[in-house]
Amino acid sequence: MEILPSALMGATKQATNGQPAIEHVKVRILPDGRMARGDAARYLGHRPKTLAMWALQGKGPRSMKVGGRVFYFKEDLDVFIRGPCGLE
């Protein structure tokens, strides 16, 4: 399953008419809602190494390791995007 989230973290480009254009990002989501670190980073607008560093520091979205690979659930990424007020 692939989705195209729209400028989730404010990643916009300037359109020719002066209005900000929404940047579409293509990510791969597994049937159970998981994304690999690279896709999760693309979804958030960061680099995979940033997510790796956040995980080492105990920051960022919740992650899980399966067979040596790190995954993130889309729901957890959406909660992270919404920020602290979205945790309730």
Q: Are 69 and 78 in contact (CB under 8 A)?
A: no
Range of the domain at 57: 2-87
Of 12-21, 33-42, 53-62, 67-76, which range is least confident? 12-21
| pLDDT higher at 75 or 11 | 75
- The pLDDT assigned to 50 comes to 97
Does the pTM surpass 0.85? The reply is no
Rounded Cα–Cα distance for residues 61 and 72 (Å): 8
Number of domains in the chain: 1
